[in-house]
C-alpha cells in the first residue's frame, strides 16, 4: 500500500511516480544513488548474506556455488568465463579482507560477490 501523503524512500530512489499527480509518462533516469542503494543498503546486505549462506549450504565447491548463484539470480547457467571471473574476484577480495583483518573473510567475500550479482544490470532490468 502506498499512502499518498507519505513518499516511500525506496521508490523515490528509483523514480517512483508522485502519488499526488497523474503521470502517464515518466522520464527515464539513472542515478548513482540507485547503485549505492543496491550495494550498501542494510536490506541488500542482509539478503546477500542469506543467499550466500544458502549457496554454502547447498554446494561444497566454489564453481558449484557460483553456478547456483547464477541459476538463482539470473535463471541461467554461467559460462566458463563468468565462473573464472567469479573465482578470481572471490580470491582477490578474500585476500584483501584477510589483510584488513575482517572476521571470516571467505564468508564476507562470498556475500560481496552476491551483492555484485544482485547489483548487475542483468538482475535489475528485464529485456
Q: Determine contact, residues 115/39, Cβ cutoff 8 Å.
A: yes
Tens place of pLDDT per residue across the chain (127 aa): 556 666 666 666 666 666 666 666 666 666 677 777 777 888 889 999 999 999 999 999 999 999 999 999 999 999 999 999 999 999 999 999 999 999 999 999 999 999 999 988 898 877 6
Q: Which residues of 19-53 are buried (b: 16+ CB within 10 A; e: fewer)?
A: eeeeeeeeeeeeeeeeeebbeeeeebeeebbebbe
- Predicted local distance difference test score (pLDDT) of residue 41: 84
- Predicted local distance difference test score (pLDDT) of residue 125: 77
DSSP 5: S
- Predicted local distance difference test score (pLDDT) of residue 124: 80
- Predicted local distance difference test score (pLDDT) of residue 51: 97
- Predicted local distance difference test score (pLDDT) of residue 78: 97
Amino acid at each position: 500500500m502506498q499512502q499518498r501523503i507519505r513518499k516511500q524512500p525506496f521508490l523515490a530512489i528509483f523514480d517512483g511516480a508522485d502519488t499526488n499527480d497523474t503521470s502517464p509518462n515518466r522520464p527515464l533516469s539513472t542515478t548513482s544513488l540507485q547503485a549505492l542503494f543496491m550495494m550498501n543498503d542494510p536490506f541488500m546486505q542482509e539478503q546477500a548474506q542469506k543467499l550466500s549462506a544458502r549457496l554454502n549450504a547447498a554446494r561444497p565447491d566454489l564453481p558449484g556455488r557460483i553456478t547456483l548463484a547464477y541459476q538463482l539470480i539470473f535463471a541461467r547457467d554461467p559460462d566458463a568465463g563468468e565462473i573464472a571471473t567469479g573465482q578470481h574476484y572471490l580470491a582477490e577480495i578474500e585476500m584483501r579482507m584477510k589483510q584488513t583483518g575482517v572476521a571470516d573473510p571467505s564468508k564476507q567475500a562470498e556475500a560481496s560477490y552476491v551483492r555484485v550479482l544482485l547489483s548487475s544490470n542483468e538482475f535489475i532490468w528485464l529485456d
